[in-house]
Amino acid sequence: MKSRVSVTLASALVVLLASTAVMAQPSTWEIGVKAGGTQSKLRGDEIYLFLSQPGLDLGGAVGDYTTGAMWGAYLRRNFSDVFALQVEGLYMEKGGAGTVYGTIDIDVPNSGTFPGDFTGEATVSLDYIEVPVLAVFTFPSDDAGKVLLTASGGVYFATKTKSEIRLQGDATVRLPDLSNRVYPVDETRQIDTVRRYDIGGLIGIGVEVGLSKVRLLFDGRYEFGLVNIDETDERSIWNNTFMLTFGLGFPLGR
């Protein structure tokens, strides 16, 4: 854990030193909006303690990717033709998916609630309001300087807004008359053991196209969580996200 925190602090220090080094150069500002898709999974230990709660006792790992979305806005300060500092405000959909097994309480009509042997798919949905802080480096790819290649890196700070698990599968229940009956399961439950915040690092590459009054942005990014999101600390689990985004930038003061 200490090494992960050190990586985060080092990344933040690089951003700060880079911005300080060019502070004396003429600068311009830019605002913009962006949206895109995410592919996320949970990496780390097996996840059964993370998902277990009253009426739900699962095993298995939720280590497959799940698809989500992101959208938000950014503010960029261009310190030179090469370097910029960018702060973003994003809504991010993260999580993971996988096959799980265990027991789940099933409400049997006219009989009561009984434990059932469950096997099926679990989809974990974790939504965050996220604030990335990035150092952005740009490199012209044509003689006119209209098309720029970008490389970026930095840290993000996130606050959780939703933590849910959707279960889809079948549960076999042994009824009081000693018969077994299979019930389909498709339900969503809250996860109460997800930490309220997340901190991580990110790197990305992209292309920017300058038009007369607007800039088109295309970006691919990888985010890696540095905080264990299991607040019980009985397992070590981190967010892991790839994303592709499209954005519109509006230069100010030009």
The answer to whether residues 156 and 131 touch, using CB atoms and an 8 Å cutoff, is yes
pLDDT average, residue stretch 28-45: 93
Query: How confident is the model over 230-246, as pLDDT tens digits?
Result: 988 888 899 999 999 99
Q: Give the percent of the chain with pLDDT over 90.
A: 63
| Residue 22 in this model has a pLDDT that exceeds 60 | no
Query: pLDDT value at position 120?
Result: 93
More confident: 20 or 110: 110
Q: CA 82, 84, 212, 215: dihedral to nearest 10 degrees?
A: 110
Query: How confident is the model over 185-226, as pLDDT tens digits?
Result: 999 989 888 999 999 999 999 999 988 889 999 999 999 999
Query: pLDDT value at position 12?
Result: 47
The answer to whether residues 150 and 138 touch, using CB atoms and an 8 Å cutoff, is yes
Query: pLDDT value at position 254?
Result: 56
Task: Delineate the domains of the chain, giving CATH numbers in brackets.
Answer: 2-252 (2.40.160.20)
pLDDT average, residue stretch 123-135: 97
The answer to whether residues 213 and 250 touch, using CB atoms and an 8 Å cutoff, is yes
Q: Which amino acid is at 254?
A: R
Query: pLDDT value at position 121?
Result: 93
CA distance 128 to 109: 38
Query: For all residues of the chain together, what is the average pLDDT?
Result: 86
Query: pLDDT value at position 235?
Result: 82
Q: Give the percent of the chain with pLDDT over 70.
A: 84
For 80, phi then psi, to 5°, come to -160, -175
Query: pLDDT value at position 2?
Result: 44
pTM of the model: 0.84
Query: pLDDT value at position 240?
Result: 96
- Enumerate the β-bridge partners of residue 91: 71, 129
Q: Which amino acid is at 168?
A: Q
Q: Which of 15-19, 143-147, 238-242 has the lowest mean pLDDT?
A: 15-19
The answer to whether residues 85 and 135 touch, using CB atoms and an 8 Å cutoff, is yes
More confident: 50 or 70: 70
| Residue 19 in this model has a pLDDT that exceeds 80 | no
Give Cβ neighbours of residue 162 (< 8 Å, ≥ 6 apart).
125, 126, 127
Query: pLDDT value at position 39?
Result: 97
pLDDT average, residue stretch 66-73: 97
Q: Which of 3-7, 104-108, 152-156, 162-166 has the lowest mean pLDDT?
A: 3-7
Query: pLDDT value at position 49?
Result: 55
HSE value, Cβ hemisphere, 13 Å, CA-based, for 65: 10
